[in-house]
Amino acid sequence: MKILVTGVAGFIGFHVAKKLLENSEHIVFGIDNINDYYDPGLKKARLEKITSKNFTFYKLDITDKESTSSFFQKNDFELVIHLAAQAGVRYSLTNPDEYIQSNIVGFLNILEACRNCSVSHLSYASSSSVYGLNETLPFSVNQNVDHPKSLYAASKKSNELMAHTYSHLFDLPTSGFRFFTVYGPWGRPDMALYIFTHAIMNNQPIKLFNNGLMKRDFTYIDDIVDGVIEASFNPPSKNTNKLWDPKRPDPGFSNAPYRILNIGNNNPVELQYFVECIEKATNKKAIKELLPMQLGDVESTFADIQAISSLTGFSPKTTLEVGVQKFVSWYREYHGI
């Protein structure tokens, strides 16, 4: 297949592209604007690890409608895996414009390009943050998600609504993936595992919000990638059976070729134990600074993965202990420690 991965220099995009290229029959194009939200050097280092002759990279900003449209018209993509976005809940509290431009305007440009170029399937990154004020665990795609706690979450909920509109109006098959706390080698420097590992190895305190009484459904990057690729190769179709009831609409699917899938570990872990895993992997004790809950955060996440398991047989394979050790080993190598 001829496949486009947006955000290919990002954490998840990089791993998805590498996995796709393990099958030498796929032709993979990657785009990214290499912005400075975090160290562009890390993004460029990721790209240098993609050495397949079947990979082509273009520096492109999806908020530029004309360039995005032209790029799609020059190529004939069968599948688009859209992972480019402005990430981060806390950053959205102080830089809201970045989220509107990248996650709303940019996503609209991708939708338009897919529609106009007859892409067979658009799969895209949503987020577990859309569950917002919901406290019914585990989080299910069949639950209402109309109460976000951050603009980042609102932008991802907007993506799901926009995708449904295009699926309904133009028969564009779309799949939205709600990722749950992704971690692993080549992770972002603004993510907890990277921040905590750096601090612990440099004898600096780590900040544990809500006094450390948080739970997260930490999901290893390889498991995320498996879910993304398997579901991307299984596009949704129009739902003409009796499961769809317009009088009692289910948020998780539609009569349009549209669906939402959780991709998580289905095993929430306390933040304190997460820190213990890092301490064990680094062989150093953490200096903990307990703080109140931060604005925009949620106390717990827990993925109901029944929908994607039924579709693809998805089952997470990597334990937190193993995943953290792999990250710390990568961290040491990358930073020459």
Q: Which of 227, 219, 251 is nearest to 324 (CA)?
A: 219
Are the CB atoms for 122 and 170 separated by under 8 Å?
A: no
How close are the terminal C-alpha atoms of the chain, in Å?
40
DSSP symbol at 266: S
Distances (CA, A) of 170 to 7, 59, 244: 25, 29, 19
Only one residue has tokens 């790209």, namely 47
Query: What are the DSSP calls for 169-183, one per residue?
Result: HH---EEEEEE--EE
* Set 91, 124, 152, 183: catalytic member: 152
Q: Which of 297, 309, 232 is nearest to 263 (CA)?
A: 309
Q: Is 37 known to be catalytic?
A: no
**Angle subtended by helix axes 192-201 and 320-334, to nearest 10:** 60
Active-site residue list? 152
